[in-house]
Amino acid sequence: MMKTMFHHLLPFLTHWAITAVSLWVAGRVFQGIRFADASSLIVAALLLGFANAIVKPLLIVLTLPLTLLTFGLFLLVINALMMMLVSSLVRGFKVSSFWTAFFASIFISVLSFLIDAFVISSSPSETIQMPHNGVWL
């Protein structure tokens, strides 16, 4: 029972940490992103994860015709809106403009993907092994 709880908790904490690191790096790269302190960074990373898990899918469904019309590019706007939503909710986390949120969200997505790929690929339990008998299931 306890092992399964920690089995599900570790990926959550890993993704939260990756988001926090990506947000911190974005704050260093983009002048329009500011964190008052470490707690605002941690809360912003947590809330961004929840917004991306709960609010973003709803926005995607509601704006599906526009997303299809723009060949998916409107998803970049939704990502920027998620950043602006979180900055409006977290005291100490500021995003200066929509365009800062737009380009920072692209940067954060790419950086999070790269860090996640590095962390996952370095995990021995996640590597794909070639079957010994040559048959893939």
43 part of a folded domain:
yes
Residue range of the domain that includes 50:
37-111
Please give the C-alpha separations between residue 68 and each of 28, 75, 76, in angstroms, as whole numbers.
34, 10, 13
117 part of a folded domain:
no
Per residue in 72-114, pLDDT tens?
999 999 999 999 999 999 999 999 999 999 999 999 999 999 9
123 part of a folded domain:
no
> CA-to-CA distance for 45 and 92, rounded, in angstroms?
12
Neighbours of 58 (CB within 10 A): 9
Per residue in 23-75, pLDDT tens?
999 999 999 999 999 999 999 999 999 998 899 999 999 999 999 999 999 99
131 part of a folded domain:
no
